[in-house]
């Protein structure tokens, strides 16, 4: 049986954009493929990827044609989108518990908690906020290639 791991949009974006820690995301992703691990995410995942690429284009940081190709590539990655009946209520509870101003990130936490798998994030603020209580949350910057 394939194991699962919850991944945030920041990890996938690191695979598309040339950033200082992109090599970490590449190593992590390769490891998952080799170990037959299925990346999962809540249904907001492709919306977040699209929003970030659009924002970068709007700010003039990447050309529209390049962003469109990145988006096409991003949507081809094997990330299984999942949910459960109470995901929004649980995301709200987690956002409240950890003092998060929005509940986007806590949807990832809620899904990983529900499935019982680890969650990997590229968001240092989120990691620092929850890591003392949620030992199944991992930060990309701590990954050793």
Per residue in 63-119, pLDDT tens?
A: 999 999 999 999 999 999 999 999 999 999 999 999 999 999 999 999 999 999 999
> How would you label 70-86 residue by residue, b for 16+ Cβ within 10 Å and e otherwise?
bbeebeebebeebeeee
Please check the confidence at residue 138 and state whether its pLDDT lies above 70.
Answer: yes
The pLDDT score that the predictor gives to residue 2 is: 62
Which domains can be identified in the chain, with CATH numbers? 3-142 (3.40.50.1010)
SS (H, E, C) the chain: CCEEEEECHHHHHHHHCCCCCHHHHHHHHHHHHHCCEEEEEECCHHHHHHHHHHHHHHCCCCCHHHHHHHHHHHCCCCCEEECCCCHHHHHHHHHHHCCCCCCHHHHHHHHHHHHCCCEEECCHHHHHHHCCCCCCEEEHHHCCC
pTM: 0.94
Please check the confidence at residue 28 and state whether its pLDDT lies above 60.
Answer: yes
Mean pLDDT along residues 16-34: 95
């Amino acid at each position: 049986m394939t194991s699962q791991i919850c991944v945030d949009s920041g990890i996938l974006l690191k695979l598309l954009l040339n950033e200082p820690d992109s090599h970490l995301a590449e190593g992590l992703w390769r490891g998952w493929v080799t170990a037959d691990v299925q990346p999962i995410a809540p249904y907001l995942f492709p919306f977040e990827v699209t929003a970030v690429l659009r924002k970068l284009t709007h700010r003039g940081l990447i050309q529209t044609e390049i962003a469109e190709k990145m988006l096409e590539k991003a949507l081809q990655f094997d990330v299984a989108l999942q949910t459960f009946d109470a995901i929004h209520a649980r995301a709200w509870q987690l956002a409240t518990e950890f003092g998060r101003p929005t509940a986007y990130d806590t949807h990832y936490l809620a899904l990983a908690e529900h499935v019982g798998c680890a969650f990997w994030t590229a968001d240092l603020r989120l990691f620092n906020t929850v890591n003392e209580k949620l030992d199944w949350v991992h930060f990309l910057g701590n990954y050793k290639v």
